[in-house]
């Protein structure tokens, strides 16, 4: 099994395909290395693509110690995977929890990122409701410890931000739920408690976002209600960001609408590599269209 070992001894499972400029895919809380299969197959035609599992997820080590899980661990683990593969810089593409890690990867290690794609980012990270989100995450971690991940996975069948995926692609949605139910209970609970339940608000870093000039694409489904305002916030505050909104689409945008997602990210990366993705005109804020 290909694995990258972190400085604290955690082995992270990864897979790669293709050759060319590297792309690192960073999965959501309810995903793992398998979540990026539609992107691995598409982007490997022209790029070196890497997908991996967070610590505590299938294929990777599952530390028992809760202190070995946090948002910063996830940020640093992305760097450790690149270090292991001797990749100096990569396009980094993240979804949800992985998009939080990707954004902070860009903030902490801007010299390692060719670009950032933040999809389904910002749930629970706004100025309103952030503390309640963290309390809910702590409670959910307790339920996972008591009831297991199979039951947690079943609970997502009725989640409103996932319902459009279920409607569009019942077979794909069933696979998503099955794979989520396979996640280790300990890793899932520790991640929920110590990453989701303790991460700071995106809004706490506004001064740093304004200075981050790494080319950034923010993607959001218009039915991913918790991420709408944070996505718009990031588009406005990041120094070199663009926003793509997908109609009638929920949270798991990369597997709910893989063709649209792939085209959008492909075009973004092509523009970045051609030097054509540049900051917008600051005077456009509040300007009249005529």
Q: What is the pLDDT of residues 197-217, one digit of tens each?
A: 999 999 999 999 999 999 999
17 burial via Cβ count (<10 Å: 0-12, 13-18, 19+): middle
3-state secondary structure 19-67: CCCEEEEECCCCCCHHHHHHHHHHHCCCCEEEEECCCCCCCCCCCCCHH
In terms of pLDDT, which residue wins out, 269 or 281?
Answer: 269
Give the confidence band of 286 by pLDDT, cuts at 50, 70, 90: low
d(CA 55, CA 105): 16
Number of H helices, E strands in the chain: 12, 8
Give the confidence band of 116 by pLDDT, cuts at 50, 70, 90: very high
Q: What percent of the chain has pLDDT over 70?
A: 97
Averaged over 57-74, what is the pLDDT? Answer: 97
Q: What is the pLDDT of residue 284?
A: 65
User: Distances in Å between the alpha carbon of 162 and those of 10, 101, 144, 174, 251?
Assistant: 31, 21, 19, 11, 6
Q: What is the pLDDT of residue 160?
A: 92
Q: What is the pLDDT of residue 288?
A: 61
d(CA 193, CA 57): 15
Q: Are 24 and 78 in contact (CB under 8 A)?
A: yes
d(CA 169, CA 122): 25
Q: What is the pLDDT of residue 126?
A: 79
7 burial via Cβ count (<10 Å: 0-12, 13-18, 19+): exposed
User: Distances in Å between the alpha carbon of 10 and those of 53, 65, 74, 77, 79?
Assistant: 11, 12, 12, 9, 13
Averaged over 51-55, what is the pLDDT? Answer: 98
Q: Tell whether pTM > 0.85.
A: yes
d(CA 143, CA 110): 37
Averaged over 146-150, what is the pLDDT? Answer: 95
Q: What is the pLDDT of residue 157?
A: 87
DSSP bridge pairs for 235: none
Q: What is the pLDDT of residues 152-197, one digit of tens each?
A: 999 888 899 999 999 999 999 999 999 999 999 999 999 999 999 9
* pLDDT of 283 strictly over 80: no
Q: What is the pLDDT of residue 280?
A: 83
Q: What is the pLDDT of residue 90?
A: 98
Q: What is the pLDDT of residue 289?
A: 63
Give the confidence band of 290 by pLDDT, cuts at 50, 70, 90: low
* pLDDT of 45 strictly over 90: yes
Q: What is the pLDDT of residue 285?
A: 65
């Amino acid at each position: 099994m290909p694995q990258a070992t972190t400085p604290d001894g955690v082995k992270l499972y990864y897979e790669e395909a293709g050759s060319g400029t590297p792309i690192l895919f960073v999965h959501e809380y309810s995903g793992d290395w398998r979540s990026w299969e539609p992107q691995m197959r598409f982007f490997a035609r022209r790029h070196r693509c890497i997908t991996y599992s967070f610590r505590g997820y299938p294929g990777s080590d599952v530390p028992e110690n809760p202190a070995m899980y946090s948002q910063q661990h996830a940020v640093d683990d992305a760097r450790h995977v690149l270090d292991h593969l001797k990749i100096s810089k990569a396009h980094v593409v993240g979804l949800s929890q992985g998009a939080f890690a990707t954004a902070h990867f860009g903030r902490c290690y801007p010299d390692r990122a060719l670009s950032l794609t933040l999809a389904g980012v910002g749930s629970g990270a706004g100025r309103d409701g952030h503390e309640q989100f963290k309390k809910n995450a702590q409670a959910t971690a307790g339920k996972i410890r008591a009831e297991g991940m199979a039951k947690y996975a079943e609970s997502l069948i009725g989640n409103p931000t996932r319902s459009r995926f279920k409607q569009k692609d019942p077979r794909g949605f069933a696979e998503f739920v099955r794979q989520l139910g396979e996640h280790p209970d300990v890793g899932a609970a520790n991640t929920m408690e110590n990453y989701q339940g303790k991460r700071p608000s995106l809004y706490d870093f506004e001064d740093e976002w304004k200075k981050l000039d790494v080319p950034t694409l923010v993607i959001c489904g218009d039915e991913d209600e918790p991420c709408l305002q944070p996505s718009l916030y990031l588009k406005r505050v990041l120094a070199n960001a663009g926003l793509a909104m997908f109609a009638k689409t929920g949270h798991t945008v990369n597997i709910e609408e893989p063709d649209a997602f792939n085209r959008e990210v492909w075009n973004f990366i092509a523009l970045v590599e051609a030097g054509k993705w540049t900051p917008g005109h600051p005077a456009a804020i509040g300007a009249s269209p005529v």
